[in-house]
Structure 1
């Protein structure tokens, strides 16, 4: 083979994945259940494009000749930089600001779609993945935040995860008050302190204490540098983690108001609980923050039992829309990681959908009679039945049936010359055939029995197939 005719190796780019019919069906069924909960709460769908002007994304303003740090970017005909969306929230903020005069306020919407990260891929870390968000823009009170938490809990229940999750809630204002009381001033030190708090579930209070101080060495000997707080400073943070909130704090009052709403609506601490260790989006969120944690155990790559962890979260982000408008615009919302949630449902047996049923396949036993076979297919389709005529090149009966098997077809329709003369058809029930095959070991017996195959009149094609599918 010359260099000119050299074949291209089929390769999937790193950080991306293909999706099969079974996976698409399973995720589609999951998304339908989530949508039903969102709409029950009065949220409506909105769809924004994959591309936004790069400056719209906010976190990644074009400060280089090519703004590609974290995002995938290109220039349009006007030499303006556009980027694939990094999340679904920044496009919502742009949409709301652009349509401010016509939208109802508060504006309640949900969005589902792919987002893109120009980052190094790794295990469970993709450059393209799906998110499913819900947001309320224009409602300043803790009632809107509490509603988000209750809706997250209802979504988990609808997906069959009751008793296997908890929605954990905290408030950025409380965290800021603790940091101020502890005398933590620099942004870098704040970040390190809050990361330490975030490790409470993983390392316990002693581990957090080390991370607040000089640092912590793990079992492998790897050292994580700490925040460098004094014992006195660390004690303030540890008191908070232990359940002692700062006094006279606006965030504490907001959490108390949310808790009253949870209690009134019947959401106990087994479903939604105030948790001081919740840390999210340090620069992004301005008030309540929350996340859905799945509480069942799974094995990590080292074979250790660990809690599955977060599948989504969010909080109040009152500053985002203000990038587009002078007046303050309050907003709160949350995002579900669709792929991660689907994996959780798979592990718990709640994903539901298996390989979707394929079409009924009309076999082509005689090329000269193609029009007859096409008429059968049309009759089935007009009756609302998935159907296709075999379009492959082989005339071999066994290979055509094998094709139908690979399509997960429920049945094949057979009309040879003898059947045509008699005005009949053979219907081969592939589901019954597979079940019968498990009990037959002798090939001759198999051929004689022709399990799952039966004869019908040509004019009874539609009714016979409908009956078969209902029985299956």
Structure 2
């Protein structure tokens, strides 16, 4: 009889490009989402939660990699018949929050106000090559206004983005919101001989090349505008194939930034020449700058910067990007600027795909995971959070007494838990409390029960004293005190207050 081959055990590994989040990381993200939502709500935006799955048709072919339309998404074909024939619709995990909004607005437009302001928060998924700090699942916080062509909507988005960054802990001077307009770039491309539908592919490559200026520098972008570029790993990226004169026009646009917004827009008018679309873009930038100035948002917070283009192909007008300007160290210990944490722009054609009618829209997306990483890099979050108060178990037959203590603490807003492991070894209970970073342990043995008292152990002070305290310090600052059982909440609250200074 043949020996039955054992099935191998599954490997306990995280899928490539994904990661797990624990304790403080989850709490920090939740706190940030709450703060961002408060700012969005203050500006009059309403919450919207859409399905994590959309049809591939609804997502459209607007992904960054134009050579692989829809290959940037995690997609599968539904089997509607149940026969295995696989003749159902193709669906995919949402790539961003914008395409679902376009679908929602088209589907429910008769029931929604115009303009419709909404914000959405949650994970998105991208089937792209993962790398250091680059994951296939990450959180986004979007805010969009649908149904108005007013540049006031774009100015409001930029102002809200600035306010949001400051509210979550990025002070003025550590960030800049940069604003540009795709119409200006389209005008420059006309001047460079890249107008017309037959130049779509070249324009797409140019857009992505300019978008990489902060990472590749001028020389790297120049290579991508020409024949192409080979990176350090040997991978070759095909270029736009522009001539030196054409590339010079595009590079001149990227370097058009001047000391003031007025000087920058004046230079852009020179570059777009007689281009009608380019002139419209410059006028829109002037309107945005005027509105922001009226709201008190000066160049130390928001500035006009022609190098901002954004990579997605659906932007049709103003585009904006929030960049963190402070330095951090990369994985090799080299100083570098943290870079972009948010971006967005106007996309007047996206809803039109569903309705056949142009519906103006503009919005912004904040990369929450990158913003959290930035705050950790600056030491503004990321400290080890304290765990719950642990009620130890000295007598397993009195679990009801210990549960009563925990309930009393929780009812008074104090985070607490009963030790639920094997209570036989008290040392293991203390090791558990230490691993949970518990600030306090509660002890009630049989003797304490008879006398109506409890022992309250300050684990933080105990750890400090254990390091280098003298005998006198041990006696002057006891880390364990006895108190009446009825004073449990008051004494725990006081000890927690003393620990927090």
Instruction: Tell me whether the two structures share a fold, i.e. TM-score over 0.5.
Output: yes
Structure-1 separation of matches of 2:419 and 2:185: 65
**Residue aligned with 2:128, SS:** coil
Deviation larger for 209-218 or 259-268: 209-218
Structure 2 counterpart of 1:142: 151
Contact 1:76 1:82 in 2 (8 A): no
Residues 38, 391 of structure 1: CA spacing in aligned structure 2 closer, same or farther, 3 A cutoff?
Answer: same
Deviation at 1:19, TM superposition (A): 0.4
Q: Secondary structure at the match of 2:206?
A: helix
For 2:33, the equivalent position in structure 1 comes to 31
1:73 is aligned, of 76, 83, 94, to: 76
1:164 to 157, 169, 174: 174
Q: Which residue of 2 aligns with 1:459?
A: 486
Q: Retained in 1: the 8 A contact 2:387–2:439?
A: yes
Following superposition, the deviation at residue 400 of structure 1 comes to 0.7
Aligned equivalent of 1:426, options 452, 455, 462: 455
- The question of whether the paired residues in 1 share the 8 Å contact of 2:394 and 2:423 is answered with no
Gaps of 5+ in 1: 62-66
Identify if the C-alpha distance between structure 1 residues 253 and 113 changes in structure 2 by more than 3 Å, giving closer, same or farther: same
Residue 384 of structure 1, CA deviation = 2.6
Say which SS state the counterpart of residue 110 (structure 2) adopts: coil
In the TM superposition, what is the alpha-carbon distance from 1:18 to its structure 2 partner? 0.5
Cα pair 1:60 1:71 within 8 Å, conserved: no
Q: How much does 1:177 deviate?
A: 0.7
The secondary structure found in structure 1 opposite 2:51 is coil
Contact kept, 8 Å, 2:465 with 2:474, in 1: the verdict is no
Residues of 2 paired with 1:458 and 1:74: CA distance? Answer: 63
Contact 1:133 1:335 (8 Å CA) reproduced: yes
Q: Which residue of 1 aligns with 2:313?
A: 283
Offset from partner CA, 1:158-197 (integer Å, 9 cap, x none): 2232211111111111111110111124222223333443
> Residue 420 of structure 2 aligns with which residue?
391
Spell out the pairing of 1:170-181 with structure 2 (5 A cutoff): 170-181=180-191
Assess if the C-alpha contact under 8 Å between 2:62 and 2:312 holds in 1.
Answer: no
For residue 48 of structure 1, report the CA deviation from its aligned partner. 0.9
Secondary structure of the corresponding residue to residue 430 of structure 2: helix
Q: 1:127 to 1:215 in 2, by over 3 A?
A: closer
Deviation of 1:4 after TM superposition, in Å, equals 3.9
Q: Which moved more, 1:67-76 or 1:243-252?
A: 67-76
How far residue 421 of structure 1 moved from its aligned partner, in angstroms, is 1.7
Q: CA RMSD in A?
A: 2.8
Provide closer, same or farther for how the CA distance between residues 203 and 15 of structure 1 changes in structure 2, counting only shifts above 3 A.
Answer: closer
Structure 1 residues 375 and 228 mapped into 2: Cα distance closer, same or farther (>3 Å)?
closer
TM-score, with length taken from structure 1: 0.89
- Determine helix, strand or coil for the equivalent of 2:355: coil
Partner of residue 64, structure 1:
none
Change (3 A) 1:231 1:7: closer
Candidates 48, 73, 76, aligned match of 2:50? 48
Deviation at 1:437? 1.6
1:178-217 aligned within 5 A: 178-185=188-195, 186-201=199-214, 208-209=221-222, 211-214=224-227
Cα distance in 2 for partners of 1:16, 1:272 equals 34
Between the two proteins, the alignment pairs up a number of residues equal to 463
Structure 2 Cα separation of the partners of residues 77 and 339 of structure 1? 36
Contact 1:404/1:412 (<8 A) preserved = yes
SS in 2 for 1:163: coil
Can you list the C-alpha shifts for 1:184-239, whole angstroms capped at 9, x where unaligned?
24222223333443354456556655554455678999876653333433343233
Q: Is 1:96 paired with 2:111?
A: no
Give the stretch that moved more between structures: 310-319 or 238-247: 238-247
Q: Using the alignment, how far apart are the partners of 1:38 and 1:92 within structure 2?
A: 16
- Shift in CA distance, 250/395, structure 1 to aligned 2, threshold 3 Å: same
* 8 Å contact kept, 1:170–1:278: yes
| 5+ residue gaps, structure 2 | 64-69, 82-87, 257-266
Aligned match for 1:153, one of 162, 174, 192: 162
Write the distance in 2 (CA, Å) between the matches of 1:76 and 1:453: 64
Counting only pairs closer than 5 Å after superposition, residues 103-142 of structure 1 correspond to structure 2 as 103-142=112-151
2:479 counterpart of 1:470: no
- Is structure 2 residue 441 aligned with structure 1 residue 412? yes
Cα displacement string for residues 407-447 of structure 1 (whole angstroms, at most 9, x for unaligned residues): 222211111121112111111111221222222489xx999
